[in-house]
A and B are shown apart, each in its own frame.
Chain A
């Protein structure tokens, strides 16, 4: 797209640091809005608008935010699943994902996998489970013909599925079992990095616990790195080592889970955390209720995007876009309140 260049802002390229499996720098993904007879582009939905973070090997990063804030698009853009990026860098193991050729990309695909949100619609109803899990294994030639069955059995066993499930079809399984199939499908390729896109939000509480435990066990076993996208903050706190809070395409706060939950800095993070219902009837509610709803990402507010709903809004917020600032070691926030700190 030619007009993609006009919205592209300058960014400083990062250099590869081997302790990070994934380095995302000023990543942008805009979707064109087409209208009229000849489908002219009349604007862009800025789904992801400058996201920067680094992900250490073997850790989990939680990505939280309201629906429509670009969590899922971030995950998909990192995996190069939604066309070309608009700007920025994605370094996976030091290689720019978007510079890879088709053949290199194909090899890379086995290293990065995704678990989708809805286990009811992300499994083909016409394939038996063994084929769902094994299809990619065969395509990528990860197991020889003789070992193929054992390979699938082993993966299924690790994910809590029985070997006789192989001939069954997805409709014969409950929601929790289907999510296990999705996890098995992702892990069958021996990935290093898995994007978990709301893997438990469609499940019951008791099943949620099983799946979360399974994800944690598999992480230990295979030394996996997760990008865990969710809007359930209690789940994110439980599973993540670091947390990023997104608002309207931007990462507004990013840091260690402990720091973020103990000491949220950004007004949006504070509001988000205060809205979590606590299962304790005696708990005191000091709720910051956010008025209104999330503005349109096609036409985001000027300056700080959160200023329309922010309780601590200053004159500066409406005009100047805040910069990412490191408040404590490893704890970044994008807010004018901390300009002088």
Chain B
């Protein structure tokens, strides 16, 4: 063809080579996964800090696609303390959702694999599992009981052909050990629906998802997620599809329920307002890496990474008049071909000379506030 080859163009031969290589790698991982009767010692570990519900430690989740390896999560480390809410912010495609799916082990296999790193899940009594290595049958016990997820789209994540009651019942009958009789399960479901603020819970039990509004459906999703009082709730953009007034209701509800069953929340969103309101700790992600993390006050009063600053400046705030919104120049680098310097360098307006070097490591600005940016290397004298 006379046409210029666009960036990232692959010939059929190259593509075949990549997929062959991918198959080899993923087969190895799958073989590891599919072993039967894996001894518990392989995935038993201890928490580095017993006050944490979950610790992500240098997590790498890759997708082996025909266009090349996509490093969706590339060395992410952060903790979720017991009883606290951790907000994860970032643009779409920055690896927020993949991080949370890794914790649930719901990554699309065999293309998606946790390649490296640990996710330590606190089971209480000094016991902890490394989710990255936990076999499937054990995982089924953990999902729902220890970790559960509220999905983004309440419209599509409920099954349209089953009644609400049946769908919530199923969760309880699969995960709850005691009280398996049908009546007790139904009682519990109705109690749950009441707990999430559905007034007509007996009626809703008999309804189909299409009969409910978006806010009600999200409440049902929350009821399902909370059915077995999990230790950690992953809320993946729980309010993005909802109106502000309904959003306020749902956020209120999440906050109350969290205290009631004393669990932790990992809140994934791109709305900084929601984060400021809900979270105790904030993790800012960009292109698969954590660029900044700290307590909510540190991040909002003293944002340090240029990306965090840009993100805050680009959102209009009610009551604050600006003539022009700041917009971050450029776009996210190609996920297949990540540069070897700081991923944000090409869009950054605060570059220093050292930025041309390798990806910056993490700098502690305070015991809780950490940032990956060369601008802070000299002041602290660390490397």
Structural contact, A289 and B318, CB atoms closer than 8 A: no
Binds B, one of A101-109, A142-150, A209-217: A209-217
Structural contact, B319 and A261, CB atoms closer than 8 A: yes
Tell me the complex Cα distance, A272–B245, Å.
Answer: 6
Structural contact, B315 and A205, CB atoms closer than 8 A: yes
Known: A174-B331, A281-B296. A238 touches B273 (CB 8 A): no
**8 A Cβ contacts from A248-282 to B:** 261, 271-282
Tell me the complex Cα distance, A231–B300, Å.
Answer: 24
A271: shortest Cβ distance to chain B, in Å? Answer: 6
Known: A283-B276, A289-B248, A293-B213. A204 touches B92 (CB 8 A): yes
**8 A Cβ contacts from B296-318 to A:** 296-297, 300, 310-312, 314-318
Q: Report A-chain residues with C-beta under 8 Å of the C-beta of B311.
A: 205-206
Contact of A206 among B247, B314, B322 (CB under 8 A): B314
Structural contact, B243 and A213, CB atoms closer than 8 A: no
Q: Report A-chain residues with C-beta under 8 Å of the C-beta of B273.
A: 234, 276-279
A306: shortest Cβ distance to chain B, in Å? Answer: 12
Contact of B314 among A209, A231, A273 (CB under 8 A): A209
Does any Cβ of A come within 8 Å of B275's Cβ? yes
Structural contact, A281 and B327, CB atoms closer than 8 A: no
Tell me the complex Cα distance, A35–B297, Å.
Answer: 56
Does any Cβ of A come within 8 Å of B216's Cβ? yes
Structural contact, B244 and A276, CB atoms closer than 8 A: yes
Known: A213-B324, A277-B274. A208 touches B314 (CB 8 A): yes
A161: shortest Cβ distance to chain B, in Å? Answer: 14
Q: Report A-chain residues with C-beta under 8 Å of the C-beta of B314.
A: 205-206, 208-209
Contact of A212 among B271, B310, B325 (CB under 8 A): B325
Structural contact, B248 and A275, CB atoms closer than 8 A: yes
Contact of A209 among B216, B243, B274, B325 (CB under 8 A): B325
Known: A277-B276, A278-B276, A293-B215. A272 touches B318 (CB 8 A): no
Does any Cβ of B come within 8 Å of A131's Cβ? no
Structural contact, B92 and A209, CB atoms closer than 8 A: no
Does any Cβ of A come within 8 Å of B58's Cβ? no
Does any Cβ of A come within 8 Å of B249's Cβ? yes
Structural contact, A209 and B249, CB atoms closer than 8 A: no
B310 nearest in chain A by CB position: A206
Tell me the complex Cα distance, A81–B312, Å.
Answer: 38
Contact of A279 among B216, B272, B322 (CB under 8 A): B272
Interface size class of A (residues with CB under 8 A): 35 or more
Does any Cβ of B come within 8 Å of A326's Cβ? no
Tell me the complex Cα distance, A287–B245, Å.
Answer: 10
Known: A205-B270, A206-B327, A209-B326. A275 touches B91 (CB 8 A): no
Contact of B318 among A206, A208, A237, A287 (CB under 8 A): A237
Does any Cβ of B come within 8 Å of A313's Cβ? no
What string of 1s and 0s marks CB contacts (under 8 Å) between B128-141 and chain A? 00000000000000
Q: Report A-chain residues with C-beta under 8 Å of the C-beta of B312.
A: 279
Structural contact, B322 and A238, CB atoms closer than 8 A: yes
Q: Report B-chain residues with C-beta under 8 Å of the C-beta of A237.
A: 316, 318-319
A294 nearest in chain B by CB position: B213
For the complex, count residues of B whose C-beta is within 8 A of A. Answer: 42
B324 nearest in chain A by CB position: A213
Does any Cβ of A come within 8 Å of B183's Cβ? no
Contact of B243 among A67, A216, A234, A281 (CB under 8 A): A67
B137: shortest Cβ distance to chain A, in Å? Answer: 38
Tell me the complex Cα distance, A67–B247, Å.
Answer: 12
Tell me the complex Cα distance, A272–B273, Å.
Answer: 15
B300 nearest in chain A by CB position: A281
Tell me the complex Cα distance, A231–B214, Å.
Answer: 15
Q: Report B-chain residues with C-beta under 8 Å of the C-beta of A337.
A: none
Tell me the complex Cα distance, A271–B300, Å.
Answer: 25
B31: shortest Cβ distance to chain A, in Å? Answer: 36
Structural contact, B244 and A231, CB atoms closer than 8 A: yes
Structural contact, B246 and A234, CB atoms closer than 8 A: no
Main secondary structure of the interface of B (DSSP, over half): helix
Q: Report B-chain residues with C-beta under 8 Å of the C-beta of A238.
A: 316, 322, 325
Structural contact, A233 and B244, CB atoms closer than 8 A: yes
What string of 1s and 0s marks CB contacts (under 8 Å) between B85-123 and chain A? 000000110000000000000000000000000000000
Tell me the complex Cα distance, A293–B242, Å.
Answer: 12
What string of 1s and 0s marks CB contacts (under 8 Å) between A182-217 and chain B? 000000000000000000000011111110110010
Does any Cβ of A come within 8 Å of B277's Cβ? yes
Q: Report B-chain residues with C-beta under 8 Å of the C-beta of A287.
A: 248, 252
B281: shortest Cβ distance to chain A, in Å? Answer: 11
Q: Report A-chain residues with C-beta under 8 Å of the C-beta of B324.
A: 213, 216
Does any Cβ of B come within 8 Å of A290's Cβ? yes
Does any Cβ of B come within 8 Å of A118's Cβ? no
**8 A Cβ contacts from B226-257 to A:** 243-249, 251-252
Tell me the complex Cα distance, A210–B316, Å.
Answer: 12
Structural contact, B327 and A235, CB atoms closer than 8 A: no
**8 A Cβ contacts from B316-346 to A:** 316-319, 322, 324-328, 331
Q: Report B-chain residues with C-beta under 8 Å of the C-beta of A294.
A: 213
B29: shortest Cβ distance to chain A, in Å? Answer: 31
Structural contact, B276 and A234, CB atoms closer than 8 A: no
Structural contact, A206 and B213, CB atoms closer than 8 A: no
Q: Report A-chain residues with C-beta under 8 Å of the C-beta of B216.
A: 293
Q: Report B-chain residues with C-beta under 8 Å of the C-beta of A241.
A: none
A174 nearest in chain B by CB position: B331
A239: shortest Cβ distance to chain B, in Å? Answer: 8
Q: Report A-chain residues with C-beta under 8 Å of the C-beta of B331.
A: 174
Does any Cβ of B come within 8 Å of A285's Cβ? yes
B107: shortest Cβ distance to chain A, in Å? Answer: 23
A164 nearest in chain B by CB position: B4
A253: shortest Cβ distance to chain B, in Å? Answer: 15
Given A213-B327, A282-B297, 5 new contacts (CB under 8 A): A206-B311, A206-B314, A277-B276, A278-B276, A281-B276
A-B contact pairs, 25 of them (CB 8 A): A205-B270, A205-B311, A205-B314, A206-B314, A206-B327, A209-B326, A212-B316, A213-B324, A233-B244, A234-B317, A234-B318, A237-B319, A238-B316, A272-B244, A273-B318, A276-B244, A276-B318, A277-B276, A279-B273, A279-B275, A280-B300, A282-B297, A287-B248, A289-B249, A293-B246
Shortest 4 CB-CB contacts between residues of A and residues of B: A277-B273, A238-B316, A209-B314, A209-B327
